[in-house]
Structure 1
Amino acid sequence: MFRFFFFIIFFLVNNNAEGNPDNYSEALEKSLLFFPHVVKIVLLSHGDLTGGCNDAGENVKFNFPTAFTATMFSGSTVEYGWGMGSQIQEAQVGIRWATDYLLKGATATPPARLYVGAGDPNVDHKCWERPEDMDAVRTVYWVSHDKPGSEVAGEIAAALTAASIVFHRADPAYSRIILRTAKKVFKFALKYQGSYNSSLGSAVCPSYCSYNGCKDELLRGAAWLFRTPNSIYYNKLIKNLGADDQLEPDIFSWDNKYAGKTIKLARRALLNHDENFDQYRQEAENFVCKILPNSPNSTTQYTKGGGNIYDKKIGANIKLPQSNLQYAGSTIQQNYLTIL
């Protein structure tokens, strides 16, 4: 549910801004009213790591998809906050619930650790119970210089950076804190590169394995940091990390974020008229053409309702066999480009 919530923000605000006669404002209000209470119900205590969100129906937390959701939630608020009216405060409440938890994981003692999960997925997946009834010992997981996890660290950096923009005016002190932490986490991800698959094993796999390496998360984190003040360093870093590589993604998810990086950099060409970023604008347009129905370059096929995305190459199988609603994010990226 937490991963899907960003879709509601994008969809409702976008349609409301376009003058759609349906009452999307009320729907947005109800969604934002519902969301924080659902998240608070799953509150568990792990010493200093209180908060966050459980995965599905189990009492286990995975910070990799949580950070992705927080990035998308903040990103939607940054881009569409102007159309949210009084609901912007409710959105900030939801974002802060996520970033407060991620902030704790990045600053908890002992130092030089980044906490990225809690609970035993192999046990918890077998036992669905109310969080209020859960009394088992909670195992916590972390990455460090000798147990790297650049994917999750890069995405946490992106989430905190995006949120710092949301709170730039609403709470400048908090904005500075999370941006400062984001830069430290990103520096760690960059300096100690490696997959958290190897570092944490069954604590994250197969539930939330990183299947395509950490380069996309590093690029995404750098792209968000590039949007902050005094960020020339990150522009150069984006080039050094290989952002110019000719990648042609047709998917966008909690694991594969190359399209997200491309859309973020294309924004500069479209809004700032920076010709140095025209390549990303073209790549973003190619991505849109691959996910649009009836496009001659489309590599996807939708159901009649448009809810699920299928891969023509493998027939009737959903692109990935689980959580296919997440691919609504690809369509939302398309809507974002049309508004720009």
Structure 2
Amino acid sequence: MSLSAVLLLLLLSPPPPAITAAHDYADALTKSILFFEGQRSGRLPPDQRANWRGDSALSDGSSAGVDLQGGYYDAGDNVKFGFPMAFTTTMLAWSVIEFGEFMPSGELRNAAAAVRWATDYLLKTLALPDRVFIQVGDPTKDHNCWERPEDMDTERTVYGVSPEKPGSDVAGETAAALSAAAMALRPIDGEYADELLRGSFRAFEFADKHRGAYTAWLRRASQNDTFLSYIQNNGKTLGADDNINEFGWDNKHAGLNVLVSKVDYILGDNPAKMSYMVGYGDRFPLRIHHRGSSLPSITSHPQFLACKDGSVYFNSPNPNPNLLIGAIVGGPGEDDVYDDDRADFRKSEPTTYINAPLVGVLAYFVANPDI
């Protein structure tokens, strides 16, 4: 069972009768947010804490005549996928909105910075009228290489949706992400929040013109009841009547009904007595399926590593040289066995959309450790 599924089950289940181990939720929260710095694409800021990373993909978007620098690599590869990035942004913003009051002030700033790193990019995806850019990088070519983001020499193909090739689901998720982020960031920068809200309107208009799946975030952010009416009048299109029992970047209806419960499994209360968050606890994954983490950093090995040059590191039994602190891996199988094998990507690959929902849960337990 993947940790994303475990997380949902934990959220839906009642609290256990007893806690088997005490956890430092503040430490786990700090690391869950720090993880996103290791996933950054583009030109890194001076206060970058994951200092084994360097600038990467600085010319993204040039083939389409737009600037698509920035954003996040969503997993252990070097492709930027717009749908999971938008979902990640929505969940991070939701964490700040609902649980920001429980975060230490420094971590609230870090969480807001993680949201803004994504939204700066998502705004760029709306640069051209009646078009939304949804992906940078050819996944087939990228997945045939094992190289650092800083060395990428694979084709950075740009993909977008348009009236001729619609994608209302990803446009709708982009609208949700920008709207949620507008709410989360308004106390920090009202002018930027207004820019995000304008972008969310543009994304929503595209999604509405080429209909598909939508969200309620725009109404919450704008306090415009027109959107509430839209939701009520399009309930079946939205999936409000669906019986959904899964939660993911392409379907989060179940998230509307979850209640927070303990996270006794991910942080180490499991048969293996192993934390599935890198850097948390005494025992955690050391060989995650992640290019930047598994290859020597550009600081320690400044020489260029081409597409296949990383194969020797991929096949090595040694631990990854760079700890991607806070990364939560896919997790063990139904038998609770985790082999810590970077080749087994289903179990050992971390993703932004696994981490993002957990940020709010951890913030809640920082303030309520005994629930």
Shorter-chain TM-score range: 0.5 to 0.7
Alignment of 1:175-254 (within 5 A): 175-193=193-211, 214-215=212-213, 218=214, 220=215, 223-242=216-235, 246-254=241-249
Alignment of 1:93-242 (within 5 A): 93-107=113-127, 109=128, 111-193=129-211, 214-215=212-213, 218=214, 220=215, 223-242=216-235
Work out whether residues 25 and 363 of structure 2, in 8 Å CA contact, stay in contact via their aligned partners in 1: no
User: How far did 1:183 drift?
Assistant: 1.2
User: How far did 1:332 drift?
Assistant: 9.3
The amino acid that maps onto 2:191 is A
Report the equivalent of 2:50.
none
Residue 52 of structure 2 corresponds to residue 59 of structure 1: no
Report the equivalent of 1:91.
111
The amino acid that maps onto 2:37 is P
Distance, in Å, in 1 between the alignment partners of 2:210 and 2:143 is 31
Distance, in Å, in 2 between the alignment partners of 1:337 and 1:28 is 10
User: How far did 1:33 drift?
Assistant: 3.5
Report the equivalent of 1:279.
none
CA-to-partner distance for each residue in 1:88-144, whole Å, 9 max, x for gaps? 10111111111111111112x4x3221100111111111121112112332101111
CA-to-partner distance for each residue in 1:136-170, whole Å, 9 max, x for gaps? 33210111111110111011111111100011110
User: How far did 1:58 drift?
Assistant: 2.7
Unmatched runs of 5 consecutive residues or more in structure 1:
194-213, 264-283, 293-302, 311-320
Distance, in Å, in 1 between the alignment partners of 2:111 and 2:74 is 21
CA-to-partner distance for each residue in 1:225-268, whole Å, 9 max, x for gaps? 121233101111111212585322111111222223xx1xxxxx
TM-score, normalised by the number of residues in structure 2: 0.59
Aligned pair in 2 of structure 1 residues 309, 259: CA closer, same or farther (>3 Å)? farther
More helix by share: 1
User: How far did 1:330 drift?
Assistant: 8.8
Structure number with the bigger relative contact order (C-alpha 8 A, sep ≥ 6) is 2
Report the equivalent of 1:25.
26
Distance, in Å, in 1 between the alignment partners of 2:111 and 2:359 is 18
Report the equivalent of 2:292.
none
Work out whether residues 309 and 327 of structure 1, in 8 Å CA contact, stay in contact via their aligned partners in 2: no
Unmatched runs of 5 consecutive residues or more in structure 2:
16-20, 42-52, 263-269, 277-330, 335-344
Report the equivalent of 2:253.
258
Distance, in Å, in 1 between the alignment partners of 2:189 and 2:169 is 28
User: How far did 1:34 drift?
Assistant: 4.4
Distance, in Å, in 2 between the alignment partners of 1:157 and 1:113 is 13
Identity %: 40
SS in structure 1 at match of 2:174: helix
Distance, in Å, in 1 between the alignment partners of 2:361 and 2:139 is 34
Distance, in Å, in 2 between the alignment partners of 1:138 and 1:91 is 28
Distance, in Å, in 2 between the alignment partners of 1:245 and 1:90 is 33
**Corresponding pairs, count:** 253
SS in structure 2 at match of 1:141: strand
Distance, in Å, in 2 between the alignment partners of 1:329 and 1:136 is 28
Aligned pair in 2 of structure 1 residues 138, 328: CA closer, same or farther (>3 Å)? closer
CA-to-partner distance for each residue in 1:5-42, whole Å, 9 max, x for gaps? xx8xx99xxx9xxxx96432233224434432442547
Distance, in Å, in 2 between the alignment partners of 1:55 and 1:106 is 19
Report the equivalent of 1:209.
none
TM-score, normalised by the number of residues in structure 1: 0.64
SS in structure 1 at match of 2:188: coil
SS in structure 2 at match of 1:39: coil
Work out whether residues 113 and 142 of structure 1, in 8 Å CA contact, stay in contact via their aligned partners in 2: yes
Alignment of 1:69-84 (within 5 A): 69-84=88-103
Work out whether residues 92 and 360 of structure 2, in 8 Å CA contact, stay in contact via their aligned partners in 1: no
